């Protein structure tokens, strides 16, 4: 029987008031239109969700809004020939949770073109331990490989290393045989970063040079930058000849103060990552890599928090304060 109502984390705003959020039950016909209705088992907590949960205009175009850029669950209705009742699927990015209604909800209804079949070797929960963060880390690594940065080239730097993207990048790179330097602002997380695969841990300040030299000593064969701002500028200035740096994040700022010297004197490549729009045709193969040869030895090590839908609010503040280590999961039906 199709459901008649569903519970979600609804962010509302009235007039000039600040946005507010509450767990709310709504009739099922209030879900957006789409080909596939999915009963969500697990979602996750991401930086973009924290922005969505506070009504940030860069993420929320219209109120009311349901955050959650990730969802994994079971198909309950399908008007698409690609999916049938009972299929186990995952959705990350596209418009899920930003600007469309997202996965902090018992149900999502989405276009079939957003849906990826769950790899057989992953549980629904494990797919959300990766979530958008792991998928973004995997895309960053795929770009390093595409730009011929093999393990023998030297050390790969990962910034924001204890965050969701950073920590999964550290672990997957290590699994692929790279030597990884992890940069973090958390003095108490060095041991954990070494455990998940870093060969070296450095302080965040070491990749935040405020001097004016256009180039710094060449230290990195490549880098996965999740921070942006002056951190990204410093990383580009300290990347070795023909190295490759991927950029996905903005927690450290959106401006990029730089000369062209890293590009024209060292041939450094800067590759932007927009995981939300990564083509649907390419997704199953990358998820198969993540579930198979790239998979970190112990995915459970990355789970920092598991919360029910009525427990997300404190985690939103933690994410915005940069206090995250690893991944946060949101339990909906909780099916494995
Ligand atoms: N482009 C895309 O497709 C895409 C996809 C996913 C995420 N993102 C972006 O990537 C970034 C990371 O995402 P996430 O999910 O990993 O976030 P997260 O789990 O909240 O982690 C962010 C990490 O960045 C570091 N950090 C926080 N504030 C900082 C600051 N002011 N200066 C320097 N470092 C700081 C912290 O790590 P340490 O304490 O270890 O330094 C923090 O744990 C976010 O900006 C997010 O929006 C982009």
| Helix, strand, coil percent values for the chain (each to nearest 5) | 30, 25, 40
Q: Is 326 in the pocket of ligand 1 (CB under 6 A)?
A: no
Using the atom order of ligand 1, give the atom closest to the CA of residue 272: 1
**The model's pTM:** 0.97
Ligand 1 mean position, distance from CA 47 (Å)? 7
DSSP-assigned letter for residue 65? B
- Residue 171 near residue 296 (C-beta atoms within 8 A): yes
Q: Is 47 in the pocket of ligand 1 (CB under 6 A)?
A: yes
State the pLDDT at residue 336.
86
pLDDT tens for each residue of 110-152: 999 999 999 999 999 999 999 999 999 999 999 999 999 999 9
- Residue 202 near residue 235 (C-beta atoms within 8 A): no
State the pLDDT at residue 322.
84
Q: How far apart are CA 128 and CA 130, in angstroms?
A: 5
Ligand 1 mean position, distance from CA 316 (Å)? 13
Q: Is 162 in the pocket of ligand 1 (CB under 6 A)?
A: yes
Q: Whose CA is nearest to atom 33 of ligand 1?
A: 252
State the pLDDT at residue 217.
98
Q: Is 198 in the pocket of ligand 1 (CB under 6 A)?
A: no
- Residue 182 near residue 244 (C-beta atoms within 8 A): no
pLDDT at 2 over 80: no
pLDDT at 54 over 90: yes
State the pLDDT at residue 328.
96
pLDDT bracket for residue 324 (50, 70, 90): confident
- Measured on CA atoms in the order 70, 328, 270, 157, is the torsion positive or negative? negative
**How many C-beta neighbours within 10 Å does residue 62 have?**
9
Mean pLDDT taken over the chain: 97
Q: Is 128 in the pocket of ligand 1 (CB under 6 A)?
A: no
């Amino acid at each position: 029987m199709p459901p008649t109502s569903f519970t979600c984390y609804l962010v509302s705003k009235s007039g000039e008031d600040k946005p507010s959020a509450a767990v709310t039950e709504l009739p099922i016909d209030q879900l957006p239109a789409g080909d596939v209705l999915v009963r969500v088992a697990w979602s996750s907590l991401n930086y973009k969700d924290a922005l969505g949960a506070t009504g940030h205009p860069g993420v929320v175009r219209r109120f009311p809004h349901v955050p959650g850029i990730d969802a994994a669950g079971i198909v309950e209705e399908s008007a698409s020939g690609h999916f049938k009742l009972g299929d186990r699927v995952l959705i990350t990015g596209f418009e899920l949770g930003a600007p469309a209604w997202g996965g902090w909800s018992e149900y999502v209804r989405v276009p079939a073109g957003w849906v990826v079949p769950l790899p057989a070797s992953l549980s629904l929960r494990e797919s959300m331990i990766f979530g958008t963060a792991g998928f973004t880390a995997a895309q960053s690594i795929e770009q390093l490989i595409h730009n011929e940065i093999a393990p023998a080239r030297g050390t790969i730097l990962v910034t924001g290393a204890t965050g969701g993207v950073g920590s999964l990048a550290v672990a997957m790179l290590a699994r692929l045989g790279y030597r990884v330097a992890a940069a973090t602002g958390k003095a108490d997380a060095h041991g954990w970063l070494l455990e998940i695969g870093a060969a070296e841990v450095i302080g965040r300040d070491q990749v935040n040079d405020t001097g004016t030299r256009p180039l710094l000593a060449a230290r990195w064969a490549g880098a996965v930058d999740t921070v942006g701002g002056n951190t990204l500028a410093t990383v580009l200035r300290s990347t070795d000849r023909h190295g490759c740096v991927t950029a996905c994040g903005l927690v450290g700022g959106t401006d990029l103060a730089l000369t062209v010297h890293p590009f024209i004197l060292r041939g450094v490549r800067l590759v932007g990552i927009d995981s939300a729009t990564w083509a649907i045709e390419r997704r199953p193969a990358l998820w198969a890599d993540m579930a198979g040869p790239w998979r970190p030895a112990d995915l459970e090590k990355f789970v920092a928090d598991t919360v029910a839908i009525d427990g997300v609010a404190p985690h939103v503040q933690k994410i915005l304060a940069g206090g995250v280590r690893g991944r946060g999961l949101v339990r909906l039906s909780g099916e494995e």
